[in-house]
Amino acid sequence: MRLTVKSALLLLVAMMIATASFGTVVASAKHVQTRPCPVFTGPGDNVVHSKNFRVAHISCGTGKKVLEGCRTDGTKCVIAHSTWHCHGVIPGRERCTSGHKVATVFWLD
């Protein structure tokens, strides 16, 4: 009976490790962990035009340049030595990616 319980526990631990590893791979392929940035004003005024400004693997300043400088129709643009592709609607959500780098925002107007 001890061998059976020990075998069952080892199998359970192995399954937990395999599940955790698989979940990490799947999660990293579908979702990049972003961090929040302060909302910004402008350009040309002191009004906040967005919310939920977030970036991954870039600075908030670079993310701002990307979101303000790239078109939302998927046309590539080069900012900060990276080629970006942005998709979204204004008003609404915009997401820009360059490999593992990400900038997202929700435009209010």
Specify the pTM: 0.70
- Is residue 107 within 8 A of residue 64, CB to CB? The reply is no
pLDDT for 43: 75
Which residues, listed in sequence order, are joined to residue 105 by a DSSP beta bridge?
A: 94
pLDDT for 68: 93
Reading the block at residue 16, the tokens are 């937990």
pLDDT for 22: 38
Residue boundaries of the structural domains of the chain: 1-31, 35-107
In angstroms, the CA 13 to CA 28 distance is: 23
Residues of the chain with pLDDT under 70: 1-30
The tens digit of pLDDT for each residue in 25-42 reads 333 345 779 999 999 888
> What single string gives the DSSP state of each residue in 62-99?
HHHHHHHHS-SBS--EEETTEEEEEEE-SSEEEEEEET
